[in-house]
């Protein structure tokens, strides 16, 4: 299973690439700029204290999208649409995971506030844009902080809330998420439920700021 | 400290009254109809297997609001405004806690969906309505299910996410919430952050339905 991280040089993408590479997945780090992707691979090698990692490859975003079985988008909201346009033709028929969160920072505002999107959520915006590509769109990884992903060797103390309308694609992403030590996947039902999940990120950032920490996360109890 | 539960005969209000009475607080159950409030007291006596509970009193909503130090509103969204009108003159200067959640059920829709309110959240709607009453408005208890509150003698496996603009009032409500065994209070900052917290309830109801359980809750990790 090849996992491509589009925007893999940002904090969240780099953290996911790190954890998936550690779990033995074939990971492709995508970036607009191949040099940035190569640099991200070097950063991860450095974090792991390894000279070589044979399951981690740098590519441009379109090349990364073309080779991935699961394509994960991890960009700020203001870069979501331009990035989608650059990979649209490459994701036909694939599992596409959107981790975008609609934070007010996209408008020069606060990371503790969300913005309302016409489609309801950032992932539904992707789904609308890709609706003619036969893409199986899944929402995941929104609430897991970059800081906890890069906080190796500690487990991640956060559940992964996953929404999507294609049961098989959702199952594949739930299995992928649980390759991160400490993460439990929670099936949140239809894609539209990401409207709630994406907003939780703003609350967790708020709790991080209020408590001067970086690892705030959530667990679902009682299931 | 007298705690008045306005709409205390509904599931959520009755559950809170039960837990607060068990913890030794002076609790007043308010209802539009005094007979319904008396009946709720009998239900709680029955749950506890006691003939008498000397710290649990039935009253009409306005009388309950008048005697409470902390007044907690637990009604469906469609009853929020009419109930507020009935107690507006009684809550002057008090701590007012709103546990209302803006579920789509208020429109004959699904409990797994929220509706957007003009003020941003149900509790901000209350704050706007009560703005001339010098009321200290706090958002709390939205995410703690009635089923877990009435599931005695088990602890409640859910954190209480609390938002408010008056630090002293928020502190008092955080202390009150932690009288429920198992509950940890989380300070979520300003009242406006209830816009996220209230929506989480719809997600937890969704998880309950999907998993055929009743006790889904959330815990915050990493603080």
Tell me what pLDDT residue A9 has. 92
| Alpha-carbon span B73 to B9, nearest angstrom | 11
Put simply, whether A211 touches B (Cβ < 8 Å) is yes
Residue at B203 is within a domain: yes
Q: Which residues of A96-133 are buried (b: 16+ CB within 10 A; e: fewer)?
A: bbbbbbbbebbeeeebbbbeebeebbbbbbbbebbeeb
Per the CB < 8 A criterion, the answer to whether B191 and B127 are in contact is yes
| Alpha-carbon span B216 to B212, nearest angstrom | 10
Put simply, whether B157 touches A (Cβ < 8 Å) is yes
> Hey, what are B42's tokens?
């009998």
Tell how strand B2-6 and strand A185-187 pair up.
unpaired
Residue A8 has pLDDT above 90, yes or no: no
A7 DSSP 8-state letter = T
Q: Do B221 and A158 touch (CB under 8 A)?
A: yes
Tell me what pLDDT residue B76 has. 96
Residue carrying the six token digits 């637990």? B74
Tell how strand A56-60 and strand A2-6 pair up.
unpaired
For A199, which of B148, B196, B216 is closest by C-beta distance? B196
For A196, which of B148, B187, B199 is closest by C-beta distance? B199
Residue at B221 is within a domain: no
Q: Give the contacts of A31 (CB within 8 A, at least 6 positions apart).
A: A7, A8, A9, A37, A40, A58, A60, A61
Find residue A186's DSSP bridge partners.
A161
> Hey, what are B183's tokens?
């509950």
Q: Do A218 and B220 touch (CB under 8 A)?
A: yes
The residue among A117, A188, A199, A222 with the most chain B CBs within 10 A of its CB, best to mutate, is: A222
Q: Which domain holds residue A56?
A: 2-211
Residue A134 sits at φ, ψ, to 5 deg, of 55, 40
Which run of H or of E encompasses A82?
helix A77-87
Tell how strand B136-139 and strand B160-164 pair up.
antiparallel
Contacts of B114 in chain A (CB under 8 A): 195-196
**pLDDT tens digits for A148-195?**
999 999 999 999 999 999 999 999 999 999 999 999 999 999 999 999
| Alpha-carbon span B214 to B199, nearest angstrom | 17
Per the CB < 8 A criterion, the answer to whether B51 and B44 are in contact is no
pLDDT along chain B (223 residues), means of 10: 94 97 97 97 95 95 98 97 97 97 96 98 98 97 97 97 98 98 98 98 98 98 97
Which residues of B, range 18-57, sit inside 8 Å of A by Cβ? none
Helix A194-211 crosses helix A122-129 at what angle (to 10 degrees)? 140
Residue at B68 is within a domain: yes
Residue at B218 is within a domain: no
Residue A55 belongs to domain with CATH number: 3.40.50.720
Contacts of A195 in chain B (CB under 8 A): 114, 199
For B112, the closest chain A residue by CA position comes to: A193
Residue at A171 is within a domain: yes
For A221, which of B157, B189, B195 is closest by C-beta distance? B157
Contacts of A170 in chain B (CB under 8 A): none
Put simply, whether B212 touches A (Cβ < 8 Å) is no
For A145, the closest chain B residue by CA position comes to: B222
The residue among B196, B199, B217 with the most chain A CBs within 10 A of its CB, best to mutate, is: B196
* CA-based R_g, chain B, Å: 16
CA dihedral (B7, B12, B15, B21) in degrees, to 10, reads -40
* Number of domains chain A contains: 1
For B215, which of A112, A158, A222 is closest by C-beta distance? A222
ipTM: 0.95
Contacts of B199 in chain A (CB under 8 A): 195-196, 199
Tell me what pLDDT residue A146 has. 96
Q: How is the beta sheet containing A185-187 ordered, strand by strand?
A: A56-60, A26-31, A2-6, A70-73, A95-98, A136-139, A160-164, A185-187
B213 to A90, A221, B59, B206, B218: CA distances (angstroms): 41, 11, 33, 10, 14
Q: Give the contacts of A82 (CB within 8 A, at least 6 positions apart).
A: none
Residue A41 has pLDDT above 90, yes or no: yes
Put simply, whether A112 touches B (Cβ < 8 Å) is yes
Put simply, whether B206 touches A (Cβ < 8 Å) is yes
Average pLDDT over residues A56-74: 98
For A207, which of B203, B216, B220 is closest by C-beta distance? B220
Alpha helices in B49-183 (DSSP H): 61-67, 77-87, 122-129, 146-149, 167-177
For B220, the closest chain A residue by CA position comes to: A218
Alpha helices in B2-92 (DSSP H): 11-22, 34-48, 61-67, 77-87
Q: Do B217 and A220 touch (CB under 8 A)?
A: yes
For B198, the closest chain A residue by CA position comes to: A196
Residue at B216 is within a domain: no
% of chain A surpassing 70 pLDDT: 100
Q: Is the dihedral of CA B83, B84, B89, B94 positive or negative?
A: positive
Residue at B223 is within a domain: no
Q: Is the pTM of this model over 0.90?
A: yes
Residue A81 has pLDDT above 90, yes or no: yes
**pLDDT tens digits for A90-130?**
999 999 999 999 999 999 999 999 999 999 999 999 999 99
| Alpha-carbon span B97 to B176, nearest angstrom | 11
Residue at A28 is within a domain: yes
Residue A1 has pLDDT above 90, yes or no: no
């Amino acid at each position: 299973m090849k996992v491509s991280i589009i925007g893999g040089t940002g904090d969240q993408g780099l953290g996911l690439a790190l954890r998936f590479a550690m779990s033995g997945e074939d990971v492709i780090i995508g970036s607009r700029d191949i040099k940035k992707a190569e640099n991200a691979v070097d950063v991860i090698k450095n974090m792991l204290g390894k000279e070589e990692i044979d399951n981690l490859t740098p590519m441009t975003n379109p090349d990364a999208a073309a080779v991935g079985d699961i394509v994960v988008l991890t960009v700020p909201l203001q870069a979501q649409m331009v990035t989608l346009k650059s990979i649209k033709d490459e994701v036909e028929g694939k599992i596409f995971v959107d981790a975008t969160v609609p934070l007010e920072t996209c408008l020069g505002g606060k990371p503790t506030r969300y913005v309302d999107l016409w489609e309801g959520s950032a992932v539904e915006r992707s789904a609308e844009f890709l609706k003619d590509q036969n893409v199986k769109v899944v929402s995941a990884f929104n609430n897991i902080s970059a800081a906890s992903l890069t906080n190796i060797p500690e487990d991640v103390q956060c559940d992964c809330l996953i929404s999507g309308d294609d049961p098989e694609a959702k199952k594949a992403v739930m299995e992928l998420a649980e390759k991160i030590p400490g993460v439990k996947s929670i099936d949140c039902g239809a894609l539209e439920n990401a409207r709630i999940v994406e907003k939780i990120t703003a609350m967790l950032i708020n709790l991080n700021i209020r408590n001067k920490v970086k690892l705030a996360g959530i667990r679902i109890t009682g299931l």
